[in-house]
Structure 1
Amino acid sequence: MVTIGWRLRRLAQALFTVWAVITLSFAMIRLMPGNAMGAMMVRFEQQGMSPARARELVELRLSLDPDKPIHTAYVEYVLNTLQGDLGTSVFHNEPVVDLLAAALPWTLFVLSWSIFISFFIGIAAGALMAYWEGGKLDVGLTSWAVLMGSIPFYVLAILLLIFASYRWGIFPSGGRQPTGVEAGFNITYIRGILYHATLPVLSMLVASGVASLGMRGNSIRVLGSDYLRVARLRGLSDYTISTQYVARNAVLPMYTTLLISIGEMFGGSIVLEYVFNYRGLGLLLYEAFNQRDYPLMMGGFVLITIAVVIALLIADMTYSWVDPRAGGQNSDSY
């Protein structure tokens, strides 16, 4: 069984990871050579501001006082970050939290659909591959899974953009919502959002290949269990055995993989949203890199890391509930 002490250790690991990320972001802003503070002050001074005014703006944008001792500035930075104060964007001149809050739902919309569809296809295909192991269906689906798992998502994104958008004109080449339609909870607007998100979602379906291979391996192990022999002797149908016995038990180890894939897709969203000009969190961070918008870059870095840490913590804390056979004490996600 998973003990309270084990859960507390996992929670402590998660909190330590968040603290380390915040500390790293502070170091990148304040301590590294060619640091963000100096670069921002030079930029403001080049715009005709006095050194005093430039220093004041740097303090406001980064929530840091350049004149304070490092340890004092560090404590203030950590407290401000934990309170949700990530500074002000240099380029947009808006609070970083507001910019991230406006962009994050669009990225979550694409990622949630991508993850759901990928794992649904992967689980179904993997179960079929394992149940008819060695047959034509298994060979065909395994070839498809290997191909999908080998293609980088951005390559598939470019191919879909070329053919489905530019050549055939089936889907739009960019954007996240329809033009000329009032935003709101209406059929036209919702259809337009789904229409614009179709190609980004399809591009991330390469994850279904890896998921199906994982499901196939889990299912083959389950098929060798003694209780399946008993089920066959009882005269249960192939459908009942494959769905209620094989699929149900083989899908349990996929739970952790599902949550871990959230972090991987968050990282991939930067390239994906750039390809489709889909204005979500990824494209916002890409533009921040190009504009050297350090507060926005660090804020996005902290947000994505915290999201991944939370996903891994949920996986660790709940896996023993999903699969009572697993104690989880020996797993280590961090």
Structure 2
Amino acid sequence: MAGFGYYWKRIGHAFVTLISVTTITFVLFRMMPGNPAQAMRAQFEEQLGGRGQAADPEVIDQMVQVHTGFDPNQPMYLQYFEYMRDIILYQDFGQSIQYGEPVFDILFAAMPWSVFISVYGLALGYTANILLGAAMAYTEGSRFDNSMTVVATFLNSIPYYVGAILFLAFFAYELRWFPGGGRYDTSLEPGLTIEFMSSIVHHGTLPIMSSFIVGFGGGALAMRGNSVRILGEDYLRVARLRGISSTRIATRYVARNAILPLYTQMMIGIAAVFSSSVVLEYIFTYPGVGWYTFDAINMRDYPLLMGSFLFFTIITLIGILLAEFTYGIVDPRAGSGGQSESY
């Protein structure tokens, strides 16, 4: 039962964190100069004026309430109560000013595309880190180890958006191997066909390669350092004396223990990859959650921006929870966390 208590405690912490972050964000948005309600009111007045319609204050207040989910004339605590009530009970994040659609529907439709390029980029990046780091440790001090250390350090220092621009300029515009934007070929009928699925992969290759850069380099150096440290442990000498094969020592002893510190980093890195998609998707004109977030910032679409911020907060908390809940499976020595915590 101690294990279940640990899980519920962590879920409770995550829920409190989510509510706290949402509350702080809500208050900051309302207290900053030119708060969203005032900015939205000015936008609606301009839109109505452009159509030659009279800017009736009551009509404008109703429009603001429809888009934000709360009455801007009420005290802030009532606005907050109505906003949280709509989110929790009805999954209503308000209505986008620019698109005129519910924020939840926009983000829910865009989420699978962001998950596609982010998760594949992260998985490929950490897989390459583990393999390269293990090879560098096995050949410690060799020319391969020295050269790969330089390469990994160089790649780790390159910002992902610089890599994205280089990929776009070279592979899309210079060589024309990949498209410069979009999620798939719009001339194809969406469906589970080879042509459509191939188009998705073709359009997603460059964003995935750029996401790959986010997690590559530093992880390889960390894997190398962990492996070198473990190779000097006494229990490996005992294993060799017992006649255990080198393959089993490499997989069961060295690799498994060297990967452990990278596991938590990888799970929490999910948040970093999703946050990087804000710029990444805009560079590749890839309409995912990040693309809509960047567009909301430019267009001052506050309901959509607030919903995107909550999306990234939830993704971060899910990554941390997954790391905490599954670490005991990866490393049985950690236990369930009921008596002590391992990290």
Instruction: Settle same-fold status: TM greater than 0.5.
Output: yes
- Measure the CA separation in 2 of the matches of 1:104 and 1:144: 33
| Range that drifts further, 8-17 or 184-193 | 8-17
CA deviations over 1:46-73 (Å, ceiling 9, x no partner): 2233111010010111001122222222
Say yes or no: does 1:183 pair with 2:190: yes
Q: Is the 8 A contact 2:67 2:303 kept in 1?
A: yes
Cα 1:4–1:185, aligned 2, differ >3 Å: closer, same or farther?
closer
1:87-236 → structure 2 map (5 Å cutoff): 87-206=94-213, 207-236=215-244
In structure 2, the residue matched to 1:312 is 320
Match of 1:54 among 54, 60, 72: 60
Given the two structures, how large is their TM-score scaled by the length of structure 1? Answer: 0.94
CA deviations over 1:195-242 (Å, ceiling 9, x no partner): 111111111222221111121122122212222112222334433322
Alpha-carbon offset, residue 243 of structure 1: 2.2
CA deviations over 1:287-319 (Å, ceiling 9, x no partner): 111110000000000111011111102212221
Q: Is the 8 A contact 1:89 1:95 kept in 2?
A: yes
- Measure the CA separation in 1 of the matches of 2:209 and 2:46: 45
Cα 1:144–1:238, aligned 2, differ >3 Å: closer, same or farther?
farther
2:285 aligned partner, one-letter code:
N
- Measure the CA separation in 1 of the matches of 2:151 and 2:181: 28
| Range that drifts further, 134-143 or 253-262 | 134-143
Paired residue total: 332
SS at structure 1 position matched to 2:334: coil
Match of 1:69 among 66, 75, 78: 75
In structure 1, the residue matched to 2:51 is none
Alpha-carbon offset, residue 277 of structure 1: 0.8
SS at structure 2 position matched to 1:268: helix
Q: Is the 8 A contact 1:28 1:36 kept in 2?
A: no
Alpha-carbon offset, residue 325 of structure 1: 2.1
Q: Is the 8 A contact 1:260 1:308 kept in 2?
A: yes
Q: Is the 8 A contact 1:153 1:204 kept in 2?
A: yes
In structure 1, the residue matched to 2:309 is 301
In structure 2, the residue matched to 1:264 is 272
Identity between Structure 1 and Structure 2 (%)? 44
SS at structure 1 position matched to 2:82: helix
Q: Is the 8 A contact 1:114 1:202 kept in 2?
A: yes
Q: Is the 8 A contact 2:334 2:342 kept in 1?
A: no
Cα 1:245–1:331, aligned 2, differ >3 Å: closer, same or farther?
closer
- Measure the CA separation in 1 of the matches of 2:324 and 2:341: 10
1:169 aligned partner, one-letter code:
R
CA deviations over 1:92-141 (Å, ceiling 9, x no partner): 00000000011111010001110111111100111111122111221122
- Measure the CA separation in 1 of the matches of 2:247 and 2:144: 16
In structure 2, the residue matched to 1:281 is 289
Q: Is the 8 A contact 1:285 1:300 kept in 2?
A: yes
| Range that drifts further, 291-300 or 82-91 | 82-91
In structure 2, the residue matched to 1:39 is 39
Q: Is the 8 A contact 1:127 1:242 kept in 2?
A: no
Q: Is the 8 A contact 1:131 1:242 kept in 2?
A: no
In structure 2, the residue matched to 1:19 is 19
| Range that drifts further, 211-220 or 262-271 | 211-220
